[in-house]
Chain A
Amino acid sequence: MADLEKANKEAISRIQSSQPYLVGLSTAGETVPGMKKNMVLHAGPPITWERMCGPMRGAVAGALVYEGLAKNVEEAEKLAADGEIIFSPWHEHNGVGPMAGVATAKMPVWILKDKVHGNNTYCTLNEGLGKVLRYGANSAEVLDRLRWMENELAPILKETLLLKGEINLKMIIAQALQMGDEVHNRNRAGTSLLIRELAPAMIEVKADTKAKKKVLEFINGNDHFFLNLSMPAAKAITMAGEWIEGSSIVTTMCRNGTDFGIRVSGLKNQWFTGPAQIVKGLLFPGFTEKDCNPDIGDSAITETSGLGGFSMAAAPAIVKFVGGSAQDALNFTQKMYEITEAESETFQIPSLDFRGSPTGINLLKVCELGLLPQINTGIAHRMPGIGQVGAGLVNPPMKCFEDALEAFAEKYA
């Protein structure tokens, strides 16, 4: 028989003590647990091809062509529809993917390790902005970029990491938070700090100077490059608190563009889903709400770990991107303390007098207060291949938490 309070204390203690490090780089096929040649990993809770949204389908089709399983997009779509492909959520393979989050065996992935709890987590490398696979684009240009990432970017970065050694991502995130990032939709500081870590070792990598320069320019040209490291770091942090008997701490929040899914520590491997919501915020010129896809991506793992929307007070400049005022950014963080169990011992927010970020979402508090976690996120066009159309604020559907509460009461009360 588990003690509810004790179980939550243990989950929080494990979350607080997690130490995610960047330890290497490989391909999904070589390193991600349970990966198969005919498997496509995706963001969000489990979903079938038939229910996938436009950007997810576009990304799946592009990935199957890139992987060599189909000759073109039409063939890829038929393969996906015929049941030849296994679709599986990244979260069930200890990883995360931004937006559509689609990954296949040949794709390079970062490898992280929680040095305290021993868990590995994974994520693909960020492709950049505009027409990219994660927004459902699958043109020749997109696939060429993916091939460059596989054949040039990844080998140089892999060699760089071997020369540099492990990188403490928790410390980089903590610094980034004090430099105006919240490491979900603002990653400029994180990306800059990462380049500082990598560049000296990269000089010594035995590769053409122009090739190394292209790598650094690629990273420098994408303020969100660090997102694909902050996400698996957050995944490692929340994984540390998973599957503790009796705990009501929420350890996963994610979306696949159709459904929003959560998982709770004391309800091992069970998904609780509801409809992904429409994001409200600022749209780029020329786009309206009817162009917007519902909420998508595993990047809500940042909020789950107390970063992202929960740490908006650290990143007031984000309101220029998602809407609202600097005071709103402060208010959102302060609200989240009401539904969390602890304050981070590492991620401190200067504007709140260095208070630790709100950590450990408690399912019971969410339901008791009727107060949903606050997420900030990019908005994808609902048609594949067009890309990002804006950014804004969104909440999960209450249904996820109500269903989880019912299951929790069923099991424990």
Chain B
Amino acid sequence: MKEASLENITKLFNSEIRVINLGIPIFADELKKQNVKVMSVDWRPPAGGNEKTMNLLDRIRAKKKV
């Protein structure tokens, strides 16, 4: 790894970190306990990760006229 990148990483972890948490709230909760600024986004994988459902939805959405 280049020295410049290492320097940036060091700078990052020595400065105030602001976090966006996608998905499971418990990660955000733990950060909050440590006074880290965090914003939680209620994100879930599309169709719960179910490939069959995703394919069906893609088929339906592809047809503007059904």
Interface residues of chain A, those whose CB is within 8 Å of chain B, are 1-5, 7, 246, 248, 266, 364, 367-371, 402, 405-406, 408-409, 411-413
Interface residues in B25-48 by Cβ distance below 8 A to A read 44-48
Given contacts A2-B66, A7-B66, A367-B47, could you give 14 more A-B pairs where the C-beta distance is less than 8 Å?
A3-B66, A4-B63, A4-B64, A4-B66, A364-B57, A364-B61, A367-B57, A371-B44, A402-B53, A405-B53, A406-B56, A412-B66, A413-B59, A413-B60
Sample 15 A-B pairs with CB under 8 A, ordered by A number: A246-B66, A248-B60, A364-B57, A364-B61, A367-B53, A368-B53, A370-B44, A370-B48, A402-B50, A402-B53, A405-B53, A405-B60, A408-B60, A413-B59, A413-B62
Against A, the Cβ 8 Å flags (1 = close, 0 = not) of B6-17 are 000000000000
Contact A368 B65 (CB under 8 A): no
Interface residues of chain B, those whose CB is within 8 Å of chain A, are 44-48, 50, 53, 56-57, 59-66
B56 to chain A, nearest CB (A): 4
Contact A413 B66 (CB under 8 A): yes
Contact A405 B57 (CB under 8 A): yes
Closest to A408 in B: B60
Contact B66 A368 (CB under 8 A): no
B66 to chain A, nearest CB (A): 3
Q: Which residues of A contact B46 (CB under 8 A)?
A: 368-369
Contact of A412 (CB < 8 Å), options: B47, B48, B50, B63? B63
B58 to chain A, nearest CB (A): 9
Interchain CA distance A266-B47 in the complex, whole Å:
21
Closest to A413 in B: B59
Closest to B57 in A: A368
Interchain CA distance A322-B51 in the complex, whole Å:
35
Interchain CA distance A402-B44 in the complex, whole Å:
17
Q: Knowing A3-B65, A4-B64, A367-B53 touch, does A409 contact B59 (C-beta < 8 A)?
A: yes
Contact B63 A368 (CB under 8 A): no
Q: Which residues of A contact B50 (CB under 8 A)?
A: 370, 402
A325 to chain B, nearest CB (A): 16
Interchain CA distance A368-B47 in the complex, whole Å:
4
